[in-house]
Amino acid sequence: MNQPRASRLNKDVRKGPGFFTGPLPLGSFKRKLVLRLIVPLVIIMLGYTVIDDIVMPILTRAGTEFPLPDFTRQRLLEARISLDDLDLKYEIAAEEYAPGVEKGVILNQFPIANTKVKPGRAIKFVLSLGEKNVAVPEMGGRSVRQAILDLESADLTLGEIAWAFSDTLPEKVVVFSYPAVGTEIPIGTPVNLMVNRGRASNFTYMPKVIGLAISEAMKRLEDKHLTLGLINYRIDENYLPETVLEQSEPEGAELDVGTEVDLVVSTVE
């Protein structure tokens, strides 16, 4: 006859000691505090450490930074070769007119040179549109003073004033300009004027001598049949010594031949 087996239900089920049952008895306040506050805090700190020290450096390519080269004054086509080698991208942020700089040359960049960047960074460039050209305005038949104002409005400057004597043309007006009206020239270019004085007379025009050395200013006055008057000196360290700072007669003014012109000249003492 088979012997009856004891049911598991009849056995004393004894559980082993629980997690930190000794120092943290079941149901105690300390145990609840540890399980609900300290343990989650430890887990969060471990997770932060793993993300900060392992995950983020991988995502941000830490340790791959390098100083950005200076691309200014380079053509964009040339800069693109270096950008490709460095695994960098570029964007055209703006384009500006720049006197004396060819079209397509980089004027500025962001970030600036020597800034630490990582591969894949987009560098922003400001490119040159070259020199801005403007048309010489129509000045025929205008007075010299009005012609000067027209030149200034067109961002051009007055060059030399020459005159002719004719009874068949209006007196004291601009006959023509050089370069001729409508010619496209860079801003700031001097434009020369030919002015009719009617019959031969004893009038001349005041040239611009500000910014010139005193020796060059005297030569220009002599060419216009004008006489050097008083020379006053003023200390100005922004200019080289013997540079004309002011002239007593405005540029383009009609003067009698032999008129004295006073000058203010720079000095460092």
Q: Measured between alpha carbons, how far is residue 199 from residues 183, 194, 202, 206, 240 in Å?
A: 30, 15, 10, 20, 42
- Size of the chain in residues: 269
Contacts of 197 (CB under 8 A, 6+ apart): 163, 164, 165, 171, 172, 203
Upstream peptide bond of 170 is cis (omega within 30 degrees of 0): no
Q: Domain 207-269: give its CATH architecture.
A: 2-Layer Sandwich (3.30)
Average pLDDT, the chain: 83
Higher-pLDDT residue of 165 and 120 is 120
pLDDT tens, 73-91?
999 999 999 999 999 999 9
Sequence ranges of the domains in the chain: 24-60, 66-128, 132-201, 207-269
Whole-number percent of the chain with pLDDT over 90: 51
Fold of 132-201: Trypsin Inhibitor V; Chain A (3.30.10)
Fold of 66-128: Trypsin Inhibitor V; Chain A (3.30.10)
- HEC assignment per residue over 32-98: HHHHHHHHHHHHHHHHHHHHHHHHHHHHHCCCCCEECCCCCCCEHHHHHHHHHHCCCEEEEEEEECC
Fold match between domain 66-128 and domain 132-201: yes
Amino acid 9: pLDDT: 47
